[in-house]
């Protein structure tokens, strides 16, 4: 670790069901605010799951020109908005002189699914001439990075990772690689998702992956709880400004924390894997990359989606890696639902703030302990805790496992 470039976080921006902007998001997490409710964006009455964590107060005109936003799916609008917030927070201005040394790695698990649904309906009802010429660039996931690069004039490495629910963390990890290899000095990294629409919800309902607690949506997302019955769809975006330490110090940037390492594996077993071995290996690789031992880690922001199979798997993996070492493990999905490709980015922001502020957010809706999930999940109330290092776990359909390590920054 000491012989390679160090990577630090100098800016963050986010949109979530419990607040727009990092400070609002963070305070809402610490207060245990719940963003889940009945779906309002379309008629979900025929779905088995009629609940989601929607963002109700987003106005794209606050972040971009109206003519531009009209040519973007909501997922792209989210990405641009989160990137603008992150750049503002970092104090970094993109100029002709530095634009080629700044890059973008913002992914999406699904892309512009709502646009796909609308344009497919146009095709069926009106024929090919009714399909918008903006259909493809509004839908494809790479346009999260593409539109951010276009909006801010960023000319360095630009790409998007798509690895389902691991997208956000893998996007950050790939951005770290770009910085480590010297191909850029700054990377905007993260994920965006807005898939609360009929076709996406219907697909997940058909898989029987979603909670059907329609009569009590505020209780539906309950990671590690014995009464959990599936995940709740959320939407949002998170973008972090990552810089080499040398570049950040040269421009006098504030530094939130250090991105110390990452691990990426695949189960190569099934689209989901109940034994957790790939997840455990990803955590071990990430800690090894960061030069940390299990006892050096104080907090894990768990993937824990509130599914019957996934939560015990992750619990098992954590026990395998950490053994008798006691650490706090919480799931912010209890409050914001599962934001798919954005989840790893939002949860990395959470880890950065936990490390910076020495407090960890709770897992809300925890009422009934599950013998298969015996873990300190920080039930229902935030906790003051010295956090020297934190892991963010993200595991995606397809067997993708991704883990990043966030560490307290020290100039030494």
* Listed residue (285, 395, 341) closest to 106, CA to CA: 341
Give the Cα separation of 215 and 42 in Å (integer): 18
Catalytic site residue 400?
A: no
Which residue among the candidates 144, 165, 197, 264 is catalytic per the annotation? Answer: 165
Crossing angle between the packed helical segments 310-322 and 277-290, to the nearest 10 degrees: 40
Residue 123, phi then psi, degrees to nearest 5: -65, -45
DSSP result, 227-249: T---B-BB-EEEEEEEEEHHHHH
Catalytic site residue 325?
A: no
Give the Cα separation of 212 and 228 in Å (integer): 10
Beta-bridged to residue 191, according to DSSP, are 107, 238
Which residue among the candidates 144, 338, 351, 377 is catalytic per the annotation? Answer: 338
H/E stretch holding 266: strand 257-266
Is residue 170 within 8 Å of residue 159, measured between CB atoms? no
H/E stretch holding 106: strand 102-107
Going by DSSP bridges, is the β-strand pair 359-360/158-159 parallel, antiparallel, or unpaired?
unpaired
10 Å CB burial of residue 361 (0-12, 13-18, 19+) is: buried
Catalytic site residue 197?
A: no
Which residue among the candidates 264, 303, 350, 377 is catalytic per the annotation? Answer: 303
Enzyme catalytic residues: 165, 303, 338
């Amino acid at each position: 670790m000491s012989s390679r470039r160090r990577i630090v976080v100098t800016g963050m921006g986010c949109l979530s069901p419990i607040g727009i902007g990092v400070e609002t998001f963070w305070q809402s997490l610490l207060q245990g605010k719940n963003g889940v409710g009945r779906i309002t964006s379309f008629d979900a009455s025929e779905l088995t799951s009629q609940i989601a964590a929607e963002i109700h107060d987003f106005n794209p005109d606050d972040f971009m020109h109206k003519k531009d936003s009209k040519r973007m799916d909501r997922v792209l609008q989210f990405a641009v908005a989160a990137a603008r917030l992150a750049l503002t927070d970092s104090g970094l201005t993109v100029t002709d002189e530095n634009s080629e040394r700044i890059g973008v790695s913002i992914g999406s698990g699904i892309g512009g699914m709502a646009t796909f649904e609308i344009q497919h309906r146009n095709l069926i009802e009106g024929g090919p001439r009714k399909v918008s010429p903006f259909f493809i660039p509004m839908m494809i996931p790479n346009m999260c990075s593409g539109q951010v690069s276009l909006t801010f004039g960023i000319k360095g490495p630009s790409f998007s990772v798509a690895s389902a629910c691991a997208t956000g963390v893998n996007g950050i990890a790939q951005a770290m690689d770009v910085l480590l290899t010297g191909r850029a000095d700054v990377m905007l990294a993260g994920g965006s998702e807005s898939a609360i629409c009929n076709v996406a919800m219907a697909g997940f309902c058909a898989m029987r992956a979603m909670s059907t607690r329609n009569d009590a949506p505020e209780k539906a997302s309950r990671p590690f709880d014995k009464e959990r019955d599936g995940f709740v769809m959320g939407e949002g975006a998170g973008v972090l400004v990552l810089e080499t330490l040398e570049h950040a110090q040269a421009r006098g940037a504030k530094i939130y924390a250090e991105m110390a390492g990452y691990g990426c594996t695949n189960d190569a077993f099934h689209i989901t894997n109940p034994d957790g071995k790939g997840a455990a290996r990803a955590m071990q690789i990430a800690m090894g990359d960061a030069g940390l031992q299990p006892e050096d880690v104080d907090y894990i922001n768990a993937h824990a989606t509130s599914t019957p199979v996934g939560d015990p798997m992750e619990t098992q993996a954590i026990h395998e890696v950490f053994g008798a070492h006691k650490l706090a493990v919480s799931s912010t999905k209890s409050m914001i639902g599962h934001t798919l490709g954005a989840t790893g980015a939002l949860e990395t922001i959470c880890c950065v703030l936990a490390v910076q502020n020495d407090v960890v957010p709770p897992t809300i809706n925890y009422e009934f302990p599950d013998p298969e999930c015996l873990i300190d999940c920080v039930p229902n109330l935030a906790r003051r805790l010295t956090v020297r290092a934190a892991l963010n776990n993200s595991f995606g359909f397809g067997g993708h496992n991704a883990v990043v390590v966030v560490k307290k920054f020290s100039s030494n």
